[in-house]
């Protein structure tokens, strides 16, 4: 289905030809992100991502890159995460060479002009302001801050405004040269192409990537002996909360029952919490349970916007559903529905070249190992009632509970007494 080619310099190329599409997506992934940063330069990965679009030797003006890709109807963007960052272009397959040329130019020849850095810092400050003014999104930042505190895992990817303003051009160049190493990079290509020809072209554009010693991220230290709360007081029309527990990293087999458990709780419109909180009581417009599996840690969290007057009631209901899962086996029919939903979403999400490029590339950059959709579905199928019960009993313990919320409250102690299972 897919092929992996490793060049002499350590650069990995993942290719997956797709029938029935006219497009190709070329995705460059680099194993770096906010977890790799020092506190004084928190936000540098995100700033570097932005700067890749601000001019290269071949395309020196800010709009030169955009104009070339816009001319052929291309889609393009970049992103930064905790553990990796990416740059991608999706075009009609006949423009493959253009996509490769533009991306390699951005990776190898960005100018990082002082003036452009100044402009982009201002844009990022406004991006941070946007997050801070959007409690529905920002409460998820507070959630990870609560879990990991002053470790890099607990910092905002975009950084703090004052720190971003102080990042220098030298900081950016030093970080770029260390992290953008051949062995630290994966190129993922999906769509309409002939494999041998495509790999040959990628080699031509990217073989000059150098081997360098990269910065290692510090392992996350998880210490928690009692329920924890982080409250941000803000006059809001509804309370935005995140309530959940520490769980498993991407390498743990328990992540499969965790995914099913998450779906059962709040992954779909017929999930337990959606029914109890939205359908039966009308307490929220949005409520969902998600799970996250990083390379060294993970969690399960319920995220909701609740009527301010009914926040305590909602917390009690969420905890009640957590407790039910550790005390009673999930009915077989409900379990099968959750598993079928996960498998269906997986395949529905892989109908485009960009989805395939991401699906395969992210696995390779995080695990150096790729599971096919069929293999993933097989693992989901294996999840039993006893597996769900075992995982629920492991994670749903009072000492693992964490609650982060934004709302018009001043005393977190009113919520502390609720965190029981």
Are the CB atoms for 30 and 84 separated by under 8 Å?
yes
Residue 99: CB partners within 8 Å, gap ≥ 6? 24, 26, 69, 74, 89, 90, 91
Pick the catalytic residue: 49, 254, 276, 321? Answer: 49
Write the DSSP assignment of 81-96 as a string of letters. -SS-EEEEEEEEGGGH
Three-state secondary structure of 239-297: EEEEEEEECCCCCCCCHHHHHHHHHHHHCCCCCHHHHHHHHCCCCEEEEEEEEEECCCC
Orientation angle between helical segments 135-148 and 114-132, nearest 10 degrees: 100
Q: Active-site residue 254, yes or no? A: no
- The Cα–Cα gap between 346 and 348 comes to 6
Tell which residue, 276, 329, 328, 335, has the closest CA to residue 302: 276
Helix (H, G, I), strand (E, B) or coil at 134: coil
Continuous segment of H or E residues that includes residue 17 = strand 12-17
Annotated active-site positions, please? 49
């Amino acid at each position: 289905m897919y092929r992996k080619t490793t060049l002499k310099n350590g650069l990995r190329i993942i290719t997956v030809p797709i029938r029935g599409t006219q497009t190709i997506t070329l995705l460059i992934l680099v194993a770096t992100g906010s977890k790799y940063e020092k506190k004084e330069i928190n936000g540098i990965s995100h700033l570097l991502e932005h700067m890749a679009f601000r001019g290269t030797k071949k395309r020196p003006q800010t709009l030169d890159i955009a104009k070339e890709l816009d001319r052929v109807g291309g889609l393009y963007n970049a992103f930064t995460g905790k553990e990796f960052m990416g740059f991608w272009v999706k075009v009609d397959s006949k423009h493959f060479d253009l996509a490769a040329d533009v991306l390699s130019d951005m990776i190898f020849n960005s100018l990082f002009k002082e003036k452009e850095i100044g402009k982009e810092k201002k844009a990022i400050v406004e991006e941070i302001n946007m997050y801070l003014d959007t409690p529905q999104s920002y409460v998820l930042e507070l959630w990870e801050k609560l879990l990991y505190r002053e470790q890099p895992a607990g910092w905002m990817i975009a950084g703090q405004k004052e720190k971003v303003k102080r990042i220098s051009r030298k900081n950016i160049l030093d970080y770029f040269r260390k992290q953008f190493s051949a062995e630290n990079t994966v190129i993922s290509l999906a769509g309409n192409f002939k494999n041998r020809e495509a790999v040959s072209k990628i080699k031509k554009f990217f073989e000059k990537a150098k081997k360098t010693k990269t910065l290692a991220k510090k392992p996350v230290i998880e210490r928690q002996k009692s329920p924890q709360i982080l409250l941000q007081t803000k006059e809001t029309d509804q309370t935005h909360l995140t309530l959940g527990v520490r769980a498993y990293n991407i390498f743990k087999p328990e992540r499969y029952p965790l995914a099913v458990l998450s779906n059962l709780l709040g992954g779909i419109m017929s999930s337990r919490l959606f029914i109890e909180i939205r359908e039966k009581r009308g307490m929220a417009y949005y409520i969902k349970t998600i799970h996250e599996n990083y390379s060294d840690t993970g969690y399960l969290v319920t995220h909701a916007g609740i009527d301010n007057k009914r926040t305590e009631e909602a917390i009690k209901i969420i905890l009640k559903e957590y407790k039910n899962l550790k005390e009673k086996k999930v009915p077989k029919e409900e379990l099968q529905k959750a598993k079928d939903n996960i498998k269906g979403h997986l395949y529905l999400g892989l109908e485009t070249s960009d989805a395939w490029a991401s699906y395969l590339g992210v696995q390779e950059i995080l695990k150096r190992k790729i599971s096919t959709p069929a293999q993933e579905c097989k693992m989901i199928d294996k999840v039993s009632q006893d597996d769900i019960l075992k995982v629920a009993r492991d994670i749903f313990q009072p000492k693992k509970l964490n609650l982060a919320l934004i709302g018009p409250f001043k005393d977190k102690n009113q919520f502390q007494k609720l965190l029981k299972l």
